[in-house]
Amino acid sequence: MIPKFLAIVALVLLSSSCEDAVDSPSTSGSNPTNPATGNPRPSGGLKHGAFTSYEHNLKGSVTLHLDTLDGAFIRLEEFTMLQGPDVRVYVSKSNNYSQANTIEIGSLKDSYLNENIDIPIANYSETYKFVLVYCLEFHSLFGYAELE
Amino acid sequence: MCKILIVVNLIFTFGCAMGQDRMDHLFDLAVSASPGQFSTAASWVHMHRFGKKERLQLGYGVRLTSFVGANKFYTTAPAEYTSTRQDIATIFSETIDSNIDTITTATAITYCLNATFNAQYRIAPRWDIGLNIDITGVSFGPQRQFNIISSSFDANQQPVESGSPTHFNLLLTSDNDIGSLNSEFFVRFWATPKIGLRGGYTFLFSEYRTHQELSFDNGRIVNDRFRHKAGMALVAITFKPFN
């Protein structure tokens, strides 16, 4: 009886520690510096944000998957939008577009559901806390999400 | 400004005293265009002829101008931010690039109804050269949504803001100007005594005012007036029905 109880307790403890390892951002230690930019390397983990829409009936959310070793990518989730010309995805330091404050990470064409879009980790830092969906041809912000 | 108006008034009074036959009524339809932008203007002008040979003509009038621009940038308008000087020498002062912020809209549409000052000179039989410029009036047009494009846009503001044409227009000098103002530099050929054809250059200010003031550079610049400067090729037809 006691060994069975201990086994159940051990299973419960193990499963909860696994969830922590997946969902919680790493907080241990200081982040090393990116030698290319001098910016602190982002810490690993997940960040999430819901889109605020301005144009093209944009809806959905975005998750940032960050791994300090393998790189980073964002994933658009439950994302819908009326198609537009030359629609790009940026990570940005602010909720508006400017060349100086953004890194382009991809473009949206026919299909954009369940796509992973890689972020060039060499230039990325945690100051880029917004994801913009932006029509470059007409300089129109379709929507943005703040990553938290 | 008052001195200028007094001088203009004296000139017109003198012109009128010389006799009613030394004036013309001109009606004009103009179209101006350059890539991504388009303007039309309808005007009435009352011109007075001066000098023994009546080559110089000065006058005043009213002009209704429409402007349509596709995907055009509107930049910070007030001279207090854009120029190192805010007096009459603004036109010769340097632009402060670091203070210029940009907003943009897919389709800008502004209408302005302004009083004009007009001048022209008869350079040869049937040929005039001239210029005209809006002085003051009103603007109107549909509300538009503007995207803010600026690396110094302060946090906690919406990145898309609505705006409408600045309602009051006033010619001062260069960036001191307020609102939407039109000006033309032209050559005219009188095909018949009553019909003239004009060609030249249009320089037009189209100005919007955002419904909320926008803050930039940690509050150093707070502004709601943004201007587009349009240079366009001009063609027009002039009617002189009463002469």
Spatial separation of the C-alpha atoms in residues A142 and A81, rounded to whole Å: 9
Determine how β-strand B102-124 pairs with β-strand A71-80: unpaired
Collect all residues of chain A within an 8 Å Cβ-Cβ radius of residue B151.
Answer: 94, 98-101
Q: How confident is the model at residue B152 (pLDDT cuts 50, 70, 90)?
A: very high
pLDDT in tens, B170-190: 999 888 999 999 999 999 999
CA distance B85 to chain A (A): 28
pLDDT in tens, B28-75: 999 999 999 999 999 999 999 998 888 999 999 999 999 999 999 999
Look at residue A42 in the predicted model and tell me its pLDDT: 55
Look at residue A106 in the predicted model and tell me its pLDDT: 87
Spatial separation of the C-alpha atoms in residues B61 and B26, rounded to whole Å: 9
Q: How confident is the model at residue A119 (pLDDT cuts 50, 70, 90)?
A: confident
Q: Is B159 on the interface with A (CB under 8 A)?
A: yes
- For an interface test with A, give the residue of B104, B160, B161, B210 to mutate (most A CBs within 10 A): B160
Q: Is B106 on the interface with A (CB under 8 A)?
A: yes
Look at residue A27 in the predicted model and tell me its pLDDT: 33
The label of the residue with tokens 């946090």 reads B155
Flag if B147 and A140 touch (Cβ within 8 Å): yes
Collect all residues of chain B within an 8 Å Cβ-Cβ radius of residue A101.
Answer: 151
Q: Is B156 on the interface with A (CB under 8 A)?
A: no
Look at residue B192 in the predicted model and tell me its pLDDT: 96
pLDDT in tens, A49-101: 999 999 999 999 999 988 766 678 889 988 889 988 899 999 999 999 999 99
Spatial separation of the C-alpha atoms in residues A86 and A136, rounded to whole Å: 6
Collect all residues of chain A within an 8 Å Cβ-Cβ radius of residue B160.
Answer: 54, 141
Q: Is B36 on the interface with A (CB under 8 A)?
A: no
Look at residue A114 in the predicted model and tell me its pLDDT: 65
Highest average pLDDT, of A23-27, A118-122, B11-15, B169-173, comes from: B169-173
Give Cβ neighbours of residue B106 (< 8 Å, ≥ 6 apart): A138, A140, B70, B71, B145
Query: Is A43's pLDDT higher than 90?
Result: no
Give Cβ neighbours of residue B85 (< 8 Å, ≥ 6 apart): B79, B92, B93
Percent pLDDT > 70 in chain A is 65
Task: Give the A-side interface with B, CB within 8 Å.
Answer: 54, 94-101, 137-141, 144
CA distance B151 to chain A (A): 5
Spatial separation of the C-alpha atoms in residues B188 and B200, rounded to whole Å: 9
Q: Is B212 on the interface with A (CB under 8 A)?
A: no
Among B39-43, B50-54, B93-97, B124-128, which is the least confidently predicted range? B93-97
Look at residue B202 in the predicted model and tell me its pLDDT: 98
- For an interface test with A, give the residue of B74, B97, B147 to mutate (most A CBs within 10 A): B147
Look at residue A60 in the predicted model and tell me its pLDDT: 93
Look at residue B175 in the predicted model and tell me its pLDDT: 86
Look at residue B13 in the predicted model and tell me its pLDDT: 53
Spatial separation of the C-alpha atoms in residues B147 and B152, rounded to whole Å: 14
Instruction: For chain A, give the mean pLDDT.
Output: 75
Look at residue A99 in the predicted model and tell me its pLDDT: 92
Q: Is A93 helix (H, G, I), strand (E, B) or coil?
A: coil
Flag if A138 and B160 touch (Cβ within 8 Å): no
Look at residue B242 in the predicted model and tell me its pLDDT: 83
**pTM metric for this prediction:** 0.80
Percent pLDDT > 90 in chain B is 77
Percent pLDDT > 70 in chain B is 91
- For an interface test with B, give the residue of A139, A142, A144, A146 to mutate (most B CBs within 10 A): A139
ipTM for this model: 0.77
